[in-house]
């Protein structure tokens, strides 16, 4: 069987396999097939320059595939971090003051998008903020949100 594969698998078979894997990658979006496809194309290019046996080609393809997938997870894939339900969640959210806010006193703010499931919040500020002023979140402290003018 190996003898048959050594004689029938040519360099362009590897390139075609690589292109097929890259097409599968475009439909999946996981970037796993990308490494497999690039490794197959690399083996095809290597085989076109230096004729090697099928077992050597297969070994090189497996090594390159594992290295490319490991490189993807180590250097290129961004870690997914969710701030949902945490105190630093959506600190970039803007809102409008509906009740004037004075230092060491509460006011009310309505936010453009929900913050921790609600759009209207009691808010505090270090400086006085008048009604209808645009504000952004500085910090979430339990049931109070500290804001500042934009």
pLDDT value of position 83: 52
Percent of the chain whose pLDDT exceeds 70: 92
Q: Torsion angle, CA of 119/122/126/127, rounded to 10 degrees? A: 80
| Whole-angstrom distance, CA of residue 63 vs CA of residue 30 | 20
- Rounded mean pLDDT of the chain? 88
pLDDT over 60 at 88, yes or no: no
pLDDT value of position 8: 82
pLDDT value of position 80: 66
Percent of the chain whose pLDDT exceeds 90: 59
Burial class, 31, CB count within 10 angstroms (exposed 0-12 / middle 13-18 / buried 19+): middle
Kindly report, residue by residue over 26-74, the tens digit of the pLDDT: 998 788 899 999 999 999 999 999 988 999 999 999 999 999 989 888 8
DSSP state, residue 68: H
DSSP state, residue 132: T
pLDDT value of position 135: 95
| Whole-angstrom distance, CA of residue 6 vs CA of residue 8 | 6
pLDDT over 70 at 100, yes or no: yes
Kindly report, residue by residue over 115-140, the tens digit of the pLDDT: 878 889 999 999 999 999 999 998 88
CA 137 vs CA 23, 36, 105, 118, 143: distances in Å: 44, 45, 16, 14, 13
pLDDT value of position 51: 87
What mean pLDDT comes out for the span 99-122? 90
| Whole-angstrom distance, CA of residue 146 vs CA of residue 150 | 13
**Chain-centre distance for alpha carbon 26:** 17
Place of tokens 């050597």: 56
Structural domains in the chain?
Answer: 2-76 (no CATH), 94-149 (2.40.50.140)
Band the pLDDT of 113: cuts 50, 70, 90: confident
Band the pLDDT of 90: cuts 50, 70, 90: low
């Amino acid at each position: 069987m190996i003898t048959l594969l050594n004689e029938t698998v040519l360099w362009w078979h590897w390139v075609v396999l690589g292109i097929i894997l890259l097409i599968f990658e475009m439909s999946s979006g996981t970037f796993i097939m990308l490494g497999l496809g690039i490794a197959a194309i690399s083996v095809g290019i290597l085989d076109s320059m230096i004729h090697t046996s099928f077992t050597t080609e297969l070994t090189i393809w497996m090594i390159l595939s594992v290295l490319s997938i490991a490189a993807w997870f180590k250097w290129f894939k961004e870690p997914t971090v969710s701030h949902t339900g945490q105190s630093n969640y959506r600190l970039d959210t803007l809102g409008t003051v509906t009740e004037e806010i004075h230092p060491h006193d509460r006011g009310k703010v309505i936010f453009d998008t929900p913050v921790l499931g609600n759009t209207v919040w009691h808010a505090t500020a270090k400086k006085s903020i008048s009604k209808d002023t645009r504000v952004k979140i500085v910090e979430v402290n339990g049931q109070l949100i500290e804001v500042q003018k934009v």
